[in-house]
Amino acid sequence: MPKKAEELNALAVKRLTRPGSHAVGNPAGLHLYVKPTGARSWVLRYHLDGMRRHLGLGGYPDVPLADARQAAREARALVRQGVDPIEHAQAQRDARQAARAKRLTFADAADRLLRQKVKEFRNPKHAAQWRSTLETYAHPVIGDLPVDKIELVHIVELLNPIWTSKTETATRVRGRVESVLNWATVSGYRSGQNPAAWKGNLDAILPKPTKLKAVEHFAAVPIDDAPGMFAQIRKRKGVAAKAVEFLMLTAARSGEVRGAEWSEIDLQARTWTVPASRMKAEQEHTVPLCDAALALLDDLPARRGLVFPSPRGKVLSSTALTKVLRVCGRDETIHGLRSTFRDWASERTNYAHEVCEQALAHTIPSATEKAYRRGSLLAKRARLMADWHRFLFSSPAAGEVVKLERFA
């Protein structure tokens, strides 16, 4: 039977300075190792499954004798159960490391998703809008929360303040939060139902967006003011003014005009084809060009790259177009010019609803109407835009009324 080591007290342990291994007793196998450098550390010797093992318990005096003895007793208890203390400690470290790796906040998850999905966005501005809405509306509530701790109550908390006042924005925020949490689930960072899902979840708490009356409108130029304002814009010099003029003649969106490239223009066919990647509805859209739009393009110097480049050859900013309106003394928005066109088409012409909607490249709301409108109605839209051209060039002072034919 092996000799039982004498149980040393704290003072005796402090005096152990000779290099080597010193048994301190209670429990058996507890040793203080002294290195030639003078550094000292605790080690527990034990046997398990016929093998001798050494378990480090920390340095001395950072780990005092009492703590070393307690740790050694706990390790001995594991050995009696057939558990290797070294493997047990490694398993605990692995579990802690896995828990830290799994603790991903919503803000971090959103950032990872955006970096992975960046190529799927229509353009950099769309990606920036995605990030901006989450940072503005989601991060203040759930940004610092681990994704596996986010529940329905958190989603309702962040959506409630904007659900009725900014319904369109709120629905986008909800969808984007749902996408982030879906990514977190399939990536192994959370499990269970997505608290941002609409069907069978939020639809039982929040009113349907389509039932809400609040609509965000863009300030539009009154119909009768349009010819006068158009005349003012035509007098102005600069690429931004030409872009606004072209925008009014085509009823296109600001981003579509600012990003227009010469490769999209077919002067012989009198069309401008905007690729799906730059369209809000992600569908290619062909715009018929009226005489004034063709004349405007013909006066421009370049024939490659951007149609309306900034002074540095980049895409014009939306602010540059807005400034043109401000210089003309207008407080309306650039997007509101499309509303002016739509008001004119509804109130001053007899063109069919679907012709006007396709001229604006609006999303088709129902499957039935979508089937009815399989064609692009390009010929009818060309006549519509020609009449819009005539109206814009009418005399604002004389209040000239443009006689329009009826088109079904």
Q: How far apart are the first and last CA of the chain?
A: 109
**110/129 Cα distance (integer angstroms):** 13
Ordered strands of the 20-23 beta sheet: 20-23, 30-34, 40-48, 51-60
Domains of the chain plus CATH, in order, are 10-101 (3.30.160.390), 106-211 (1.10.150.130), 223-393 (1.10.443.10)
Q: What is the pLDDT of residues 111-160, one digit of tens each?
A: 999 988 877 776 677 788 888 889 989 999 999 999 999 999 999 999 99
Q: Residue 157's pLDDT is what?
A: 93
With a threshold of 0.75, does the pTM exceed it? no
**Contact between residue 230 and residue 396 where contact means Cβ atoms under 8 Å apart:** no
Torsion, CA 95, CA 100, CA 103, CA 109, rounded to 10:
-120
DSSP for residue 5: P
Q: What is the pLDDT of residues 38-83, one digit of tens each?
A: 999 999 999 888 888 898 889 999 999 999 999 889 889 888 888 8
> Quick one: angle between helices 106-117 and 167-186, nearest 10?
90
Residue 203 burial (CB < 10 Å; 0-12/13-18/19+)? exposed
Q: Residue 122's pLDDT is what?
A: 65
> Quick one: angle between helices 239-250 and 226-235, nearest 10?
150
Residue 102 burial (CB < 10 Å; 0-12/13-18/19+)? middle
pLDDT along the chain (408 residues), means of 10: 75 90 89 92 89 89 91 89 84 70 84 85 76 90 92 94 88 94 91 94 90 61 91 93 96 93 94 88 89 94 89 91 91 88 90 88 58 63 95 68 40
**6/26 Cα distance (integer angstroms):** 8
Q: Residue 132's pLDDT is what?
A: 86
Residues 6+ apart with CB under 8 A from 160: 206
Q: Provide the strand spans (E) within 136-181.
A: none
| Cα–Cα distance list, 300 to 242, 294, 295, 296, 303 (Å) | 9, 10, 9, 7, 8
Q: Which residues pair with 386 in a beta bridge?
A: none
